[in-house]
Structure 1
Amino acid sequence: MEEILIISNYYPPEKGAAANRIEQLALKLHQNNYNVTVICPLGNYPKGELFPEYKGKFSVTENRDNITVKRLWIYPSVSKNILVRIVSILSFSLNLFFYLLFKKTPQKVIVQSPPLLLSFISVLVLSFKNKKIILNVSDLWPLAAIELDALKSGSFSHKISLFMERFIYKKASLVLGQSDEIIAHIKTISPGKECHLYRNFPDHQVTEIELKTIENQPIKIFYAGLLGVAQGVLELCEKIDLNGLSIELHLFGDGAEKNQIEALISSMKDQKIFFHGMMDRKALHETLKTFDIAIVPLKTRIYGSVPSKIFEYGSLGFPILYFGGGEGEIIVSENKLGWVASVEDFQDLNEKLVEISLLEKADLDTMKQMVFNTANTNFHLDNQIKDLIAKKVF
C-alpha cells in the first residue's frame, strides 16, 4: 500500500465540518489502498479545552478505523482574543515543525489550509524535504478574515498573512480547492499551478431516503453546526420573524455564541426557537429524521466559501434554505435544492419563510425525495476520489 500523510488542525472525535471532511478523505484514501496517517492536535475543538482522554499527555498515537492518528500537544483555546488564538495555533505549529523536520514522513503529504500559519509551517518544511505537497484549501485566508472583520486590511498581520498565502500556493505541488472561486483566486497568485476542484461531499452510504414527514405539526427548520462568528446564528435568532407562522427553528451545536444564543432564547416570550446543544453525528442524524428543512447561514458573503452543510444535508434529503451568498447560491439554485435568500437581507429571508409556511407537508415530502435523488446523483464522494486518483493527484 502506498503511504500518504494528512496534516490537519481538526480530526474526530472533534466535532464540525472540518473534522468530518478530513476523516472522510482519510477513510476514502484507505479504501483505495493507501496507508494513511493523520497528524493533528490533541482533541480539543470546539470547546477549546483538551478532551478528558488527552489531558496530561504530550502526544498520542492511536488507530481510528485503520487510520493511524498522531496527536501532538496544543495549548487549546477558542478565545476571541487574537493573541491568545495565535499562541494556540503556534503551540501546535511548533510541535509540528520539529516533528516534520526530524521524523520520517511519506513522500506524499496532504496539507489542510486554513489555518494559514499551520499550512505555512507544513509547506515550508515539506518543500525543504522535497515532498509532494497536496494543498487542500477549504477557505481563502486572509481574504475571509478581512471579510469577517477579524483582520484589518493593510495591517502588519495582514501583510504577513498575504506573504504566507503566496508562499504556500507557489510551493505546493498541486492544490485542491473546495470551490471554483478558490481555484480562480489561486490562479491569480500562481497562474501555472495545477488545481483540482474537491467538493466537501459527505459519505452517508444511504441508498434510500429515511426522513419522516409528520402531518399536523409545525414545519421544523434546523441549523446544525458551529455557533461561531462566521455562521451568524445569534443574529439569525435576533432577526428571524416566525410570528404567525407554523414554523419552528431548532439549533444544534456549540461554539463562541452558544451562551448568548441560550440567553436570548430563554428571554423570548413566544418560544419558537429551540436549542438542543451538541450531539454526536449519528445521534444527530437520527434525531433529524422528523425535521423538514436545513437552514445554511453565513454572517456575510465570504469569497470562496461553500458551506459543506449544503452537501451534507442535501444528501440526506433535506431541502436547503440558503442564506450565505456566493457560490453556494449557485449550487442550491442550479440543483433545485430549495430556497435562496440574499445574504444579510433578513427581509428577504423572512419573506422566504412566509413562502415556506404555506407549503403542505405533502409538498415537503415530494421535495425531500427530489432533493435526495439529485444530491445522491451529483454529490458523490466515491466518484470524486476515484477521479482524482485517476488523475494522479494522490
Structure 2
Amino acid sequence: MKKILIITSYFPPETGAASNRIFHLATGLENQNFKVSVITPLPNYPKGRVFDDYRGKFKQTSTEKNVTIHRLWLYASNSKNKLLRLFTMISYSISLIWFFIWNKIPETVIVQSPPLLVAFTCMLCLQRKKRKLVLNVSDLWPIAGLELGAFKKNFSYKMLEKIERFNYKKADLVLGQSQEILVHVKSLFPEKATFLYRNYPDFELPELKEPSISGDKITIVYAGLLGIAQGIYKLCESLDYSNIEFHIYGGGAEKEKIVQFISENPDLPIVYHGEVTRSELHNALLCYDITIIPLLNRIYGSVPSKIFEYAKLGLPMLYFGGGEGEDIIQQHQLGWIAEAGNYSHLNKTIQSLGKNKLSLKNRTKIQQAALENFDFNKQLLKLKAVL
C-alpha cells in the first residue's frame, strides 16, 4: 500500500472550504488504497485561538476514518497585525521542522499552498531525489494579496515572489484549483507538470424540493467566511431590499461589523444565523431561493469552491466575483452573473429575477449539471494516475 502525506494549515474540525477540500482529498485517497497521513496545526481557524478541546496540548495524533492525523502546536492568531500573523506561520513551520527531524516521511508528499512560508518550509526540508513533492495551489499568493490590498510592491513582496517561485521550482507536480493558476505556473516554469484539481465536494445529492420560505420576496442566502475578501458588510450596505430578504451564515473578521449593522438597521430584512455544521447548513440552504457568491475584488486564480457544492445542492447562484468563476457559472447554466464590484448592476440583476426563474425544475437542471461535470471520484481517479 503506497504511503502519502498531506501537509495543510486547515483541517476539520475547522470549518470552511479549505478544511473540507483537504479532508475529502485525504479520505478519497484512503479509499483508493493509499495509506494516508495528515499534518495540520491544532484547530484554530477562523477564531484565531486553539479550540477548547485542544488547548494546552503541544501535539495530538489520532486516527479518523483510517487517516492518521498529526496536529502540531502553533501560536494561533487572526490578528490584523502582520507581524503576529507572520509569527503564527513561523511557529507552525518550526513545529513542522521538528516533526520532519523525528519522523519518517513518506516518498509522496502533498503540500498545501498558501500559506507560502509553510509551503516553503516543506519544499526546502523535504526535497530528495526519490521523494515526489506535490504542491496543491488553491490561491495565487502573493498576487492575490496584492489584489486584496494586503500587500504593496515593496521589498517584502519581492521576497514573497521569490518564495513562490522556489516552491514551484521544487515541486515535481503542481495541482491548481483553476486554469488561471496553471497558466501562471506555466508562465514561470513552462516544463512543469501540472494538474487541474477542482474543489469538487463529496456528499450524497439531496432530494430537491421547492424552497420552504414562503412569501413574495426572493430569499437570498450567503454562507461562508465573513472575511474582507468576501465583502459581506459592503453587501449589506449596498443591496436594494425592496423585493428580497438577505440571510447570512458563517463567521470571520467582519462578523461583529455585520451584527452591529443589522442591530442599527432593524427595518432591513437581514437575518444573521451564526455558524452551523456543514450538514445543518446543507439542509438550511435548500430552503432559500438563491445564493450569492461575492468577492469584494476580482482575484486572479480564485474559483470559489462554493460553486461546485451549491451545484450539487441544486441551489441557483448569483455570482458577483469576476474571473474564471463567471465562466463556470455560464458554461454550466448554474445561475446569473453580476459585474464584479458593480453594485448597481447587482441590484438590477436581482430585480430581474422572479420566482418562476427559481423553480424546482431549474434546481433539478443545476443538480444534473453537477452530477455530469463535477464528479469528485472521477477526478480523484485521474489524480491517482499521476501521483
TM-score normalised by L of structure 1? 0.95
For 1:207 and 1:289, how far apart are their aligned partners in 2?
9
1:393 and 2:386 matched: yes
Other structure's SS at 1:112 match: strand
Deviation at 1:128, TM superposition (A): 4.5
Q: Give the aligned partner of residue 245 of structure 2.
A: 248
For 1:12 and 1:88, how far apart are their aligned partners in 2?
19
Q: Give the aligned partner of residue 377 of structure 1.
A: 372
Q: Give the aligned partner of residue 314 of structure 1.
A: 311
Q: Give the aligned partner of residue 108 of structure 1.
A: 108
Cα root mean square deviation, aligned: 1.4
For 1:69 and 1:326, how far apart are their aligned partners in 2?
35
- 1:76-115 pair list within 5 angstroms: 76-115=76-115
Deviation at 1:215, TM superposition (A): 4.7
Moved more, 369-378 or 201-210: 201-210
Other structure's SS at 2:304 match: coil
Other structure's SS at 1:106 match: coil
Deviation at 1:375, TM superposition (A): 1.2
Q: Give the aligned partner of residue 147 of structure 1.
A: 147
For 2:209 and 2:78, how far apart are their aligned partners in 1?
36
Q: Give the aligned partner of residue 131 of structure 1.
A: 131
Deviation at 1:212, TM superposition (A): 4.0
Spell out, residue by residue over 1:68-124, the C-alpha distance to the aligned partner (whole angstroms, 9 max, x if none): 110000111111111111011111111112212332011000000001101010111
Pair 1:338–1:105, CA change in 2 (3 A):
same
Return the match for 1:268 from 265, 272, 280: 265
Moved more, 211-220 or 304-313: 211-220
For 1:214 and 1:251, how far apart are their aligned partners in 2?
15
- 1:203-214 pair list within 5 angstroms: 203-206=202-205, 208-209=207-208, 212-213=211-212
Aligned residues: 387
Q: Is the 8 A contact 2:180 2:301 kept in 1?
A: yes
1:328 and 2:300 matched: no
For 1:66 and 1:279, how far apart are their aligned partners in 2?
26
- 1:31-42 pair list within 5 angstroms: 31-42=31-42
For 1:355 and 1:117, how far apart are their aligned partners in 2?
46
- 1:44-63 pair list within 5 angstroms: 44-63=44-63
Deviation at 1:217, TM superposition (A): 5.3
Other structure's SS at 1:19 match: helix
Other structure's SS at 1:223 match: strand
Deviation at 1:206, TM superposition (A): 1.5
Q: Is the 8 A contact 1:213 1:365 kept in 2?
A: no
Give structure 2 stretches of 5+ with no counterpart.
Answer: none
Deviation at 1:53, TM superposition (A): 1.1
Q: Which amino acid aligns with 1:393?
A: V
Q: Is the 8 A contact 1:101 1:125 kept in 2?
A: no
- 1:155-304 pair list within 5 angstroms: 155-206=154-205, 208-209=207-208, 212-213=211-212, 215-216=214-215, 218-242=217-241, 244-245=242-243, 247-304=244-301
For 2:64 and 2:235, how far apart are their aligned partners in 1?
37
For 1:346 and 1:76, how far apart are their aligned partners in 2?
36
For 2:205 and 2:143, how far apart are their aligned partners in 1?
36
Deviation at 1:363, TM superposition (A): 4.5
Other structure's SS at 2:359 match: helix
Q: Is the 8 A contact 1:211 1:317 kept in 2?
A: no
For 2:63 and 2:251, how far apart are their aligned partners in 1?
27
Q: Which amino acid aligns with 1:373?
A: Q
For 1:151 and 1:319, how far apart are their aligned partners in 2?
34
Spell out, residue by residue over 1:290-346, the C-alpha distance to the aligned partner (whole angstroms, 9 max, x if none): 112111001100000000001111111001100000000000011110000011000
For 1:269 and 1:58, how far apart are their aligned partners in 2?
45
Q: Is the 8 A contact 1:321 1:341 kept in 2?
A: yes
Q: Is the 8 A contact 2:213 2:219 kept in 1?
A: no
Q: Which amino acid aligns with 2:344?
A: Q
Deviation at 1:209, TM superposition (A): 3.0
1:359 and 2:355 matched: yes
Give structure 1 stretches of 5+ with no counterpart.
Answer: none
For 1:263 and 1:207, how far apart are their aligned partners in 2?
35
For 1:52 and 1:309, how far apart are their aligned partners in 2?
28
For 2:126 and 2:190, how far apart are their aligned partners in 1?
22
Q: Is the 8 A contact 2:178 2:197 kept in 1?
A: yes
Identity of aligned residues (%): 48
Q: Is the 8 A contact 2:123 2:170 kept in 1?
A: yes
Q: Which amino acid aligns with 2:377?
A: D
Q: Which amino acid aligns with 1:50?
A: V
Pair 1:214–1:273, CA change in 2 (3 A):
closer
Deviation at 1:55, TM superposition (A): 0.4
Q: Is the 8 A contact 2:208 2:360 kept in 1?
A: no
Q: Which amino acid aligns with 1:161?
A: L
For 1:212 and 1:218, how far apart are their aligned partners in 2?
12
Q: Give the aligned partner of residue 2 of structure 1.
A: 2
Other structure's SS at 1:254 match: coil
Q: Is the 8 A contact 2:316 2:358 kept in 1?
A: no
Deviation at 1:126, TM superposition (A): 1.1
Moved more, 363-372 or 52-61: 363-372
1:345 and 2:338 matched: no
For 1:131 and 1:373, how far apart are their aligned partners in 2?
40
Q: Is the 8 A contact 2:290 2:358 kept in 1?
A: no
For 1:372 and 1:149, how far apart are their aligned partners in 2?
36
